[in-house]
Amino acid sequence: MITTADTDSQTWILTRFDTCDVDGCHNCAAIVAKVNDYDRFCEVHLDVAARVALHHPVFPGWYRIDDSSTSDGQLVVEVHPL
């Protein structure tokens, strides 16, 4: 039997909320772009999220949000690269 451990998860401390960045959307974010503002998107707005990469000549990638909590007014997220 082979077991695989998920060892590439990271913990980030971010500003703002854990909701989608699309105006008027209050869904929880499912993915985050590793760009300056750490843009976040829910599963409904993945089409909008795809455009983010087009605006960054060197796009570092997408991360799935596995867990999130707030601490001292900051958002603490555990992410996993996609």
Range of the domain at 42: 10-81
Predicted local confidence at residue 43, as pLDDT: 96
* Residue 47: inside a domain: yes
Question: How far apart, in whole angstroms, are the C-alpha atoms of residue 21 and residue 24?
Answer: 8
Output b/e per residue, 54-70; b: 16+ Cβ within 10 A.
Answer: eeeeeeeebbebeebee
Indicate the number of domains in the chain: 1
* Residue 2: inside a domain: no
Predicted local confidence at residue 1, as pLDDT: 46
In this prediction, residues 3-13 reach a mean pLDDT of 73
* Residue 1: inside a domain: no
Predicted local confidence at residue 3, as pLDDT: 44
In this prediction, residues 58-66 reach a mean pLDDT of 92
* Residue 5: inside a domain: no
Predicted local confidence at residue 7, as pLDDT: 64
- pLDDT tens for 12-61 read 999 888 899 999 999 999 999 999 889 999 999 999 998 888 888 888 89
